[in-house]
Amino acid sequence: MKKLKCAVIGTGYLGKFHAEKYALLPDCELVAVVDINQEAAQAVADKHGAEALTDYSSLLNIVDAVSIVVPTTLHHQVAKDFLNAGVHVLVEKPITVTVAEADELITIAAAKNLILQVGHLERFNPAVLGLDKEEKPLFIESHRLSPFNPRANDVSVVLDLMIHDIDIILALVDSEIDRIDASGTPVLTQGTDIANARLTFKNGCVANVTASRISMKMERKMRLFRPSSYISVDFQNRILSKYQTGTKEMFPGVPEIISEESTFDSADALLEEIKHFVNCIHTGDNPLVSGVAGRRALATAIQITQLLGDK
């Protein structure tokens, strides 16, 4: 199989890990990393035997695939340039700043038959991959809590953290949203730092979603209430717990409750995400988190931020 010529645009905290993963894959050649900070680009390039650049324009007609790991405000322009050049794109979440920008990228990718994948990393958490998705949930409750971190505070907690759960919930429910209610407040930054949103779907499902970046502990959990089962997903510890009624009786006329817990080994979700991206390029399959999925998560997150009064 021909090696894909790959590059990473942006070598900040996350970008350097993207470069590391491409360098590990036998069917990829990491040809270059790009950053406006020459020293940052050079440090990553030297580690993986790639070229360090401060301008990505020279790569447009050279590479087959790129990861775009630059500030969100630059996602649209950088992704557009590469897609127009016929390059497959993995862009970090959120896909773009506006829905219109996301629509343009989706249109270009479709017209050129290119893979456009969005980096919603939690979809590749083994606990999520192991979730039985056949039975649709009636009610969902999620909590994504994190201590304060100065990184990524240029956006509200909705676009920083909550969007992970929004993306998963939209995929699980697979129904249009009928109503959104939201509340939240800034505490340490100018944007909302703690928020709650209640999503009511047209099929009757309700999702109660909470995100905080000012908590004293780290917690990433989701609970699904379904017609015949209750499921708890612990993203952080990769534990999937399922409770459902059995054939025996716990009390006369009351069925027993059977519990099943699966703990998954530590996995490299980013490596799996990039492997999936590369595989989709080779096979032409739609990515697990397509541009359309990324757009839908963005549109929902924007609605919530507007209700909260964030820009």
How many angstroms separate the CA atoms of 8 and 62, rounded?
13
- Looking at the chain, the whole-number percentage of residues with pLDDT higher than 70 is 98
Residues 141, 220 contacting (CB under 8 angstroms): no
Query: Which tens digits make up the pLDDT trace of 72-91?
Result: 999 999 999 999 999 999 99
Residues 35, 59 contacting (CB under 8 angstroms): no
C-alpha distances (whole Å) from 143 to each of 106, 203, 228 are 30, 23, 23
Q: Is the pLDDT of residue 68 over 80?
A: yes
This prediction has a pTM of 0.93
User: Could you give the dihedral angle defined by the CA atoms of residues 49, 51, 52 and 53, in that order, rounded to the nearest 10 degrees?
Assistant: -160
pLDDT of the residue at 153: 66
Residues 193, 157 contacting (CB under 8 angstroms): yes
Please give the average per-residue pLDDT across 17-25, as a whole number. 97
Please name every residue paired with 262 in a beta bridge, in sequence order, or none if there are none.
240
Q: Is the pLDDT of residue 182 over 70?
A: yes
Helix axis angle, 15-24 to 269-283, nearest 10°: 60
Chain Cα centroid distance, residue 285: 18
Q: Which residue has better confidence, 13 or 63?
A: 63
Domains annotated on the chain, with CATH? 4-121+270-289 (3.40.50.720), 123-266+299-308 (3.30.360.10)
